[in-house]
Amino acid sequence: MIVASILWRRLDAPGHDACRVERDGFGWRLEGTAVFLLGGEPANLSYRVSCDAGWKTASGRVHGAIGERPVEHFVAREEGRWRLDGEAVAGLDHVEDLDLSFTPATNLLQIKRADLPIGKAVRLPAAWLNVETGALTALEQIYERRSEGAFYYCAPELGYEGLLELAPNGFVRRYPGLWEAEPPGA
């Protein structure tokens, strides 16, 4: 059953990302496709992330292409260990979320799982899949709920911070400098 969907427009390069979240027998499934320019090359990346009922990531898949280079990755969290394309990745046992480098969609998972009250902040490091390099690494992230519909977000390692504004359906509506939801019916 589809619970919510959204269409984003990329702000720093031409592109769009369409995503939906649905409930399944296991918990939640996030699914979408992003088409945009990445480093001057066309990128077409489809993704799916499966979570349990409490929004903890179980697995994720990305496939498509960046320019002429095919992209195919499968990430799984099994018994507290992260695997990328079947290989164990060290140093990620402390993280519970998967963050895909190219889409604002995966921020929904952390926001839902943390369920922060207004005025509270939390560090939520994630297993960050960088599709440009194919690496899965820990990425420190800080979320602070500023209002019912806004979170201050910071990823110090990437040098990014901004006020994420939420749409009524829970997705990030505005990701400053990177993504913005298209108005319904646009």
Q: Could you tell me the residue range of the domain that residue 114 belongs to?
A: 2-181
Place 25 in a pLDDT band, splitting at 50, 70 and 90. confident
Answer whether residue 43 is part of any domain. Answer: yes
Answer whether residue 97 is part of any domain. Answer: yes
* All residues at 6 or more sequence positions from 100 whose CB lies less than 8 Å from its CB, including other chains: 47, 49, 60, 62, 106, 129, 131
Answer whether residue 165 is part of any domain. Answer: yes
CA atoms within 13 A on the CB side of 99: 19
Answer whether residue 186 is part of any domain. Answer: no
Answer whether residue 86 is part of any domain. Answer: yes
Residue in 33, 39, 81, 88 with CA at minimum distance from that of residue 61: 33
Residue in 9, 52, 36 with CA at minimum distance from that of residue 175: 9
- Token pair for 71: 């992209």
Place 186 in a pLDDT band, splitting at 50, 70 and 90. low
Q: Considering the entire predicted model, what is its pTM?
A: 0.94
- Token pair for 99: 């963050």
Residue 185's pLDDT is 56
- Gyration radius (Cα) of the chain, Å: 15
Whether residue 79 is predicted with pLDDT greater than 90 in this model: the reply is no
Give me the number of domains the chain comprises.
1
- pLDDT tens, position by position, 132-184: 999 999 999 999 999 999 999 999 999 999 999 999 999 999 999 999 999 87
